[in-house]
Amino acid sequence: MASSSGTKKYPPRLYEIGKTPIQSRSMNHNCFLSNLQVMKESVGEDVWLELRESAVGVIIKLKELEYTWSAKHVHYFLVNQLAIQCSHEVWSLIEDQPLRFSLYEFEDITGLNCDPFDTQEQWDVAHEDFWVEMKVPISEGPKLNELQALFPIIRNWPREKRVMVGLLCLVSIGIFGISSNSRIPLHLAKRVMDPAAFERHPWGRPAFTSLVDSIKVVTYEEKKSYTLHGCVHVLLIWIYESVPGLGEIYGHRIEEAEVLLLSWHGSRQRINFPNFCAQEKKKYQKIRVRHMIVKAMEDRYPKWGEDKPPDDLDNMIVDILNDQLNDKFWDVVPLTKCRKRKNQVSAPSVPERVDTSPSTKRRKEKETAPEMEESHTDMPINNSIIQKLVEAVNNLPGRVETMDVSVAERVTKTLEASVQAQVEARMALFETEMKNKMAILEEDINVLKGKDEEKVTSNAGNSKAHEDDDTCSNTMSWMVQTKKGSVDGLPIQRVVKKEKMINKTMLGKKVKIEKPFSIPQLNDQSISTEDWENHLKWQKSVKCRLALEALASSLEEPTRKRKTKLTKTQVFPYVRNSTVKRIVSGKTVSKESYDPLAKVAPEKLKKVLDFIKSDLEDAESGYGDRSARFYLTLLLPREAWPTQNYGWLHDSHMAAAMHMFHRRSMQSQSPYYSPRIAFLDRWFVNSWVNDYKKYDETNELPEYFSMAFNGEYPAEFVTGKKWLKDVDSLFLCHHVNGDHWVALHIDLQKEVIHVYDSIRTWVPDKKMQEECMPFTKMLPALLNKMVDPKLRTKPDKQFTYCRYKKIPQNEDPGDCGLYTLKYIECLALGYNFVGLSDQIIPAMRLKMAAEIYDEVAMED
């Protein structure tokens, strides 16, 4: 691309390189397409089909699509924006390539009507009676939660009114994307009462405005989370369309779709953007982008009726249209050594009185930090010598080159003397501070020595809390005591006989009691869940609070100090102190293995309960594995579920658990029975299944399959191990029949797919075989592509399907997700499933939630 003149200015970065905010908690939004399912059941199939063909029907079509939203992908582009003074455009950078998101791009993606508003339209309709019937204020538009409250009763309403309620839901969720407690503007809400007025209205403009306004006003660096309004899904599709490389790898395109919004399956696979950019440049010598929708020069701005756009923005757009963009404008200029020296001597003066307390010191450092970032000319000159010197130099006549040498020497000597004085003063200050700190440290050491001398009983004589000594044959009859010696009062140890224990608790030994964990008093509300779900409200209800209090009460059990000692024959292959042999025949367990069916560690459970408490107290809840809802779904026992399927695990739960298993496998000392196993990302498996239909038609595999085979994809599951060469077994979660989870173990060497199903009667065997076809058919094709043909004796043979019968079953259906994860965990450890049953599932839910929070959410 030709470069324009270097004198032209473009909009600067919103955040400097290296100061881009990190997303500690995921982005929030209110455009939840899943909420439309309850609406569909309430308005009826006939009305649903009519809404599908309405002016806003693309929202329903997106809901019907197997589409996956990713907030992390969008967040990267939001925090890499350009700072432009234009309220109707968003520009972002990937490396040095600017991307435009304007009304043109929004219209191209959604297909919504984005024509200018008709200022001459004279239209109104009588609306008061309908609002009264709906029991909402007649002077304001309705809220989504008010509309949802009507779902149980509108099934008997006339078709016209059911259509009105459905359109209002679509406008609230898909057009404005606002909170369920926010109202739809009245002048737009009443258009649902006039079908012709609703259809001709340019709904794309309020939808675009709602989205872009929230992007403009949100703060990315201060709060832990932020919320966007509008149809946020358009942003993800914009990324795939604007950066073709990202779309090819992560978007999973759908061919011949009606509009671009329906052309991508999406994914939640994490992107390593620096690596992606490096690969793009290596392959194409640049990052392939579409800067903007190309328009004629006179139509380069959508019509909004606002003032002239800023010059820097206009310069950039004109240069893009003329193919003269100066992509070096945003290059980072490295800091010079001069700036570093300036920062080191940014506070030359020495205060007359110094407070050496740590809190004062930290406060002063924080106050002076901003000054260090300012330029030299803006720094206050506090030292009188330097100030006089600067004044003298400023008063010298003539240019520096013609200045007398003697004058220059005097200036140099004065500067050197001044700097030397400041350095000596600073060193004296540091020396004083260090002496004070050393004195405090010595006092602390003396206090600790005193406490050590007061100890009477050592840990050598420990016993299990609340247990009789006679229960353990290895209990010693002696103990070690510490007393003061005759030399300098130093402690010495001696062996004495134990006193006979009368009570079950040792004398002088305190049992550590965990502090009770209290749940905050939440807003008590009576929530009906017979016909529709409102999880957010239920999370702040009495039932939810009581359920959490019951879980928290389990933390009050005394902590046991010592585990029962096992004999040599019990250490391996027995697990803990069980007398049941649980090692799978032919497997050698790792020395770092653990019991997958053991109870959760109390400290881990307390962490996740603390997080749930904090998240429920926040005005804006987190998203994904950073939200209370994620963990409540996972850890609440069956009797506490507000609805029949509240505790069913979703893709996000399975993805988080598989990520945790993968991280464990990458430890230096893996707990699993073999290093030749790999766990597949749930989102990768989802893409695999979605691409099967296309493969069945074309017999072509997407490029990311080859990357996965080489252990290079997805980014969060990179192992560097090649299948067959370094990996024999693949473990994955498979969603079948639209409502059921099963575990798959793929043996690459024997070319067998083992299916572990916790509810065998739910899916017939023939149907299960069909559900596994993406793997039985595509895996041979992948091996044929990646493996030497000489090693493939039967290249056309499909993988064998094997479904196990004699495995623990979920007798009370609803926990297939937990069973699936436990199947995978036990198989990877080399254990069988002895002990896995419905009775321990509540405990396993707590364990899984606590471990995911501790090992996945807290690490991200």
Total domain count, the chain: 4
Strands (DSSP E) along 302-393, which ranges?
none
Total-model pTM: 0.53
- Cβ neighbors of 795 (< 8 A, separation 6 or more) are 780, 783, 784, 789
- pLDDT-wise least confident of 7-21, 380-394, 808-822: 380-394
The token pair that represents 549 in the structure block? 């209090």
Distances (CA, A) of 275 to 270, 284, 287, 715: 12, 14, 12, 10
Q: Are 525 and 537 in contact (CB under 8 A)?
A: yes
- Asked whether residue 687 falls in the same domain as residue 727, the answer is yes
Supply the pLDDT for residue 507.
40
Distances (CA, A) of 497 to 440, 456, 478, 484: 41, 14, 4, 19
Is the pLDDT assigned to residue 415 strictly greater than 70? no
Do the domain assignments include residue 479? yes
What does the alpha-carbon distance between residue 474 and residue 469 come to, in Å, rounded to a whole number? 9
Do the domain assignments include residue 523? no
- Asked whether residue 594 falls in the same domain as residue 691, the answer is yes
* Last-in-domain residue among 270, 291, 321: 321
- Cβ neighbors of 284 (< 8 A, separation 6 or more) are none
Q: Are 358 and 37 in contact (CB under 8 A)?
A: no
If one compares 754 and 640, the residue with the highest pLDDT of the two is 754
Supply the pLDDT for residue 569.
45
If one compares 716 and 48, the residue with the highest pLDDT of the two is 48
Q: What does the pLDDT look like over 636-687, one tens digit per residue?
A: 888 888 888 889 999 999 999 999 999 999 998 999 999 999 999 998 999 8
- Asked whether residue 743 falls in the same domain as residue 693, the answer is yes
- Asked whether residue 419 falls in the same domain as residue 485, the answer is no
Do the domain assignments include residue 337? no
- Cβ neighbors of 46 (< 8 A, separation 6 or more) are 159
Question: What rounded mean pLDDT belongs to the chain?
Answer: 78
Supply the pLDDT for residue 715.
82
Q: 549-565 as b/e, with b when 16 or more CB fall inside 10 Å?
A: eebbebbeeeeeeeeee
Q: Which residues pair with 101 in a beta bridge?
A: 90
Identify residue 410 by its one-letter amino acid code. R
Supply the pLDDT for residue 653.
94
Is the pLDDT assigned to residue 505 strictly greater than 50? no
Average pLDDT of the segment spanning 622-627: 66
Q: Give the closest residue to 268 by CA, choosing from 618, 569, 652, 586.
A: 652
Q: What does the pLDDT look like over 427-474, one tens digit per residue?
A: 666 666 676 667 676 666 665 555 444 443 334 333 333 333 333 334
* Last-in-domain residue among 265, 300, 321: 321
The token pair that represents 447 in the structure block? 């206090």
Do the domain assignments include residue 619? no
Q: Are 838 and 810 in contact (CB under 8 A)?
A: yes
Strands (DSSP E) along 84-184, which ranges?
90-94, 97-101
Do the domain assignments include residue 314? yes
Helix (H, G, I), strand (E, B) or coil at 5: coil
- Asked whether residue 489 falls in the same domain as residue 592, the answer is no
The token pair that represents 484 in the structure block? 């003061």
Is the pLDDT assigned to residue 74 strictly greater than 50? yes
- Asked whether residue 182 falls in the same domain as residue 222, the answer is yes
- Asked whether residue 679 falls in the same domain as residue 724, the answer is yes
Do the domain assignments include residue 451? no
Q: What does the pLDDT look like over 302-359, one tens digit per residue?
A: 988 767 889 999 999 999 999 999 888 887 544 444 444 444 444 443 344 444 444 4
- Asked whether residue 463 falls in the same domain as residue 419, the answer is no
What does the alpha-carbon distance between residue 193 and residue 130 come to, in Å, rounded to a whole number? 9
Supply the pLDDT for residue 421.
66
Is the pLDDT assigned to residue 35 strictly greater than 90? no
Do the domain assignments include residue 188? yes
Supply the pLDDT for residue 743.
98
**Phi and psi at residue 218, to the nearest 5°:** -70, 150
Distances (CA, A) of 580 to 246, 562, 670, 833: 51, 22, 24, 11
* Last-in-domain residue among 321, 346, 379: 321
Q: Give the closest residue to 329 by CA, choosing from 79, 2, 19, 3.
A: 3
- Asked whether residue 699 falls in the same domain as residue 781, the answer is yes
What does the alpha-carbon distance between residue 525 and residue 543 come to, in Å, rounded to a whole number? 9
- Asked whether residue 122 falls in the same domain as residue 165, the answer is yes
Query: Residue 414 is part of which domain span?
Result: 387-392+407-434
Do the domain assignments include residue 535? no
What does the alpha-carbon distance between residue 70 and residue 386 come to, in Å, rounded to a whole number? 56
Sign of CA dihedral 213, 217, 221, 226: negative
Supply the pLDDT for residue 212.
95
- Asked whether residue 277 falls in the same domain as residue 419, the answer is no
If one compares 493 and 777, the residue with the highest pLDDT of the two is 777
The token pair that represents 33 in the structure block? 């397409």
- Cβ neighbors of 434 (< 8 A, separation 6 or more) are none
What does the alpha-carbon distance between residue 467 and residue 727 come to, in Å, rounded to a whole number? 47
Radius of gyration of the chain (CA): 34
Write the secondary structure of 737-782 as one string of H (helix), E (strand) and C (coil). CCCEEEEEEEECCCCEEEEECCCCCCCCHHHHHHHCHHHHHHHHHH
- Asked whether residue 590 falls in the same domain as residue 467, the answer is no
Q: What does the pLDDT look like over 104-128, one tens digit per residue?
A: 999 999 999 999 998 888 888 988 8
Helix (H, G, I), strand (E, B) or coil at 77: helix
